[in-house]
Amino acid sequence: MDYLKPTTHINIYDYDHVVSIGNKCITTSILRELNVYKESFPFDYIPTTPWIILKYLKNPDDFFPKKNSVLNNDGVWFGHWNLDDKYEETIQSFQRRFQRLYEILQNKKRVLFVYTSEADIYNEFGNRYNDNYSELCNIREFIKNTYHNNFTILAIHINKTYENAENIINYTINVPSIYLSDDKSTHNDQTCNEHKRVLNLLMKEICQL
C-alpha cells in the first residue's frame, strides 16, 4: 500500500476540536497516536458508513443499541463496550458524547472532521460500492444548513480520488488487489497493520506532524 502525495496540507492547530466520523476504529486510533485526540465523540471506535453518520446526526435516538445486544438496528457494532451489566452507564456515556458534539457545533467552534475508509478494503457495510463521497457531501450540507459552522472534513479514500470541494479535502490510499475482498476474508492482522502504517504516514504528512 501507498498513498498519493498530498498537495494540500492542514494545520490541525487551526481547529478547536478534531472529531472522528469513522468509518472504523482506526480513525480514532490514529488521532490518538498523533496526540490530537482530546475528547471523546459518538463515532469513536464505531464501524459506520457516512449515510449512517448523517442519520445519527439528525436523530441520535436511532444510534443506541438495545441491552445485551452488540449490534444496533442498523447493524452497527458496539463490541468495545459493555452493553450487558453496564448498559445504562454506557448509554449515558454516548449521550454525553452526542451532547458534546452538538454543543461545539452550536457554539460555532472550528471543527476538523476526519473520515478514513478502511471498511472499503473488506467491503464492510458494502462500503466499497457505496457512493460515500456523495454522503460526505450530504453531511457537509446538513452541518452548514443546521449550524452554519466553521468546519473541514478531511477524507481519506481507498483507491478513489476526488477533487477538493467546499469544506472537504480529499486524499487517497492506494491498496493493491491482494488486500481487497468482498467478504471480509482479508480482514486480518497483515492487512490491518499495513493499512494502519500507511494511514499514519499519510496523516502525518497531511498535518505536517
* Residue 47 structural domain: 2-207
Domain count of the chain?
1
What does the mean pLDDT of the chain come to?
95
- pLDDT, tens only, 60-100: 999 999 999 999 999 999 999 999 999 999 999 999 999 99
Q: Which three cell numbers stand for residue 167?
A: 469544506
Q: Residue written as cell 456523495?
A: 134
Q: How far apart are the first and last CA of the chain?
A: 21
To the nearest whole percent, how much of the chain has pLDDT over 70? 100
Whether residue 148 has pLDDT greater than 90: no
Q: What is the pLDDT of residues 47-66, one digit of tens each?
A: 999 999 999 999 999 999 99
Are the beta carbons of 114 and 27 closer than 8 angstroms? yes
Helix H, strand E, coil C: the string for 14-69 is HCCEEEECCCCHHHHHHHHHCCCCCCCCCCCCCCCCHHHHHHHHHCHHHCCCCCCC
112 neighbors 156 (Cβ within 8 angstroms): no
